[in-house]
Amino acid sequence: MSDKSAALSMPVTVEQIQELLPHRYPFLLVDRVIEIVPDVSVVALKNVSINEPFFQGHFPGHPVMPGVLIVEAMAQTAGLLTQISSRMKGNTGSPLFYLVKVDNARFSAVVVPGDQLRMEVSLKRLMRGMGIFVARTTVDGKEVASCELMCAARSDK
């Protein structure tokens, strides 16, 4: 985000997200941030389109978003929580976090073209460069996936 005031406005757009995360098409899986409580929780959206490249092979004639990509979308949302929180405090950003562990992943419904994912991520604990996040994703108010994520700050060594 170019300036401090931009960091405080909601929604956070995809252009601003690209300033905060290194991911790009076809792997940027967050379109917009609509709510944030700094250092506590974030809500983000992903619009699922038939034009997603993974639908070519998953599955022909019956397109279903892979669960691993839903988990990745939740992990990117967790990254946005740390980045936006840092910017809102006036910092230029926090270190990038890498996904290192996924616990208790559950998938309760398929995600198909036309769905809008609503990722809700809360920070459970942050210590010694490790963050633990609780994440859930819904479509039209119905939970489709949930998990606990552990992320580690990138070491530039």
Mention every residue, 6+ apart, whose C-beta is less than 8 A from residue 141: none
Active-site option among 58, 109, 112, 136:
58
Do the beta carbons of residue 117 and residue 70 sit within 8 Å? yes
Q: CA–CA separation, 119 vs 104, rounded Å?
A: 16
Cis peptide before 26 (omega within 30 of 0): yes
Closest CA to 82 of 45, 157, 133, 120: 133
23 an active-site residue? no
Contacts of 136 (CB under 8 A, 6+ apart): 74, 119, 120, 143, 145, 146
Pairing assessment for the beta strands 130-139 and 142-153 based on DSSP bridges: antiparallel
Please work out, in degrees rounded to the nearest 5, the angle formed at the alpha carbon of residue 28 by the alpha carbons of 25 and 30: 140
- The residues carrying an active-site annotation are 58
